[in-house]
Structure 1
Amino acid sequence: MTKREVWQRGPIEKVSPILQPVAHALLQSNEDIETYTSGFPDELLWKKPVNMASVGFHLRHIPGVIDRLFTYADGHSLTEEQLEYLKAEANANGNPVALKDLINHAQKQIHAAIHYLESSPEASLTEERFIGRAKIPTTKLGLLFHAAEHSQRHVGQLLVTVNWIKQLHGIT
């Protein structure tokens, strides 16, 4: 029997009904990352087929974007450390990186996001927030929702890139 998608398994305990779609999407990303990268070799993490983003990029970008958008949702500006992480998402920086470490980092960030959702009162969701130096206006809910949908977008791209690279290298 096929495992049901996260949203089909019922509400996430302690998360507001309004934030359930955000929690479901993030937890689905969490599961799909592990499923889609199963058996993917570390040495191909930074390959860019037809100049598409690498598997390593997606695995760094997902937790990075969640962290940044949740920082904005909390009403804060990005730190220098977050800006440095953003700059480094697309490459291994000369350091050997293991797939399991990238997955663990993504999963840790997703679990931190779920904890944040558990402690987010519904009354705060329509509060005005701003994105970046340009101070683009939005709401706390808008930022949380975008973090979830953006992670789902990159999980889809991750699936395509993993499959493309596996096919190119004869990996089953």
Structure 2
Amino acid sequence: MASGDPVEVWMRGPVEGIAPALQPVAHSLLQVREEIERATADLTPDQLWARPGGAGSIGFHLRHIAGATDRLLTYARDEALTPAQLAQLKAEANPGDPPADAAQTMAIACEAIDRALAQVRGTDVATLFDARGVGRAKLPTTVIGLLFHAAEHATRHAGQMATMRKVVLG
């Protein structure tokens, strides 16, 4: 699936190894991967971490896609967040010193998407409506709710990145 393909991922047919009920999740995650590759192509570190008007930078959105996807899928596995995941959450907007470049930051997001796809591929559809809790408050949801939210949340941030790219490049 080439990122230059004019046909969106969901119209390319089923993703191999993914249960029919989870195809929309896989399609969304793969679409996000293609969109973030386009949004980060050729950006300098200054452009990647720019925050015009105080908006979230493209770099933040990449790290947040990675971190939020990982956290949501942790809850889908019925596990608690680790101290490392909580530390990552606090560091998502920090560009680093020197600032991370686009290739490094995009790789983090793509690796998270790959791990998410592996988890989706291994999800037993008989568990999709199993109850799960989110956060310390254990807010109620289900496995399918978390998988779907991970995909749509990543999609929202990929859209924000596309818009921010236009703003940053002027």
Aligned to 2:152: 149
Identity %: 46
1:3 to 6, 9, 18: 6
Aligned to 2:32: 29
Structure 2 Cα separation of the partners of residues 2 and 44 of structure 1: 26
Query: Which amino acid letter does the alignment assign opposite residue 117 of structure 1?
Result: V
Aligned pairs for 1:5-154 (under 5 A) are 5-154=8-157
1:43 CA drift (Å):
2.2
TM-score using structure 1 length = 0.94
Number of aligned positions between the proteins: 167
Structure 1 Cα separation of the partners of residues 144 and 135 of structure 2: 16
Deviations 1:111-133 (A, max 9, x none): 11111111111101100000000
Structure 2 Cα separation of the partners of residues 104 and 39 of structure 1: 14
Query: Which amino acid letter does the alignment assign opposite residue 167 of structure 2?
Result: W
Structure 2 Cα separation of the partners of residues 30 and 51 of structure 1: 25
Unaligned ranges ≥5, structure 1: 168-172
TM-score using structure 2 length = 0.95
1:93 CA drift (Å):
3.5
Q: CA separation of 1:2/1:13 partners in 2, compared to 1, >3 Å: closer, same or farther? A: closer
Runs of 4+ in 1 over 3 A off after TM superposition: none
* RMSD between superposed Cα atoms in Å: 1.2
1:91 CA drift (Å):
1.2
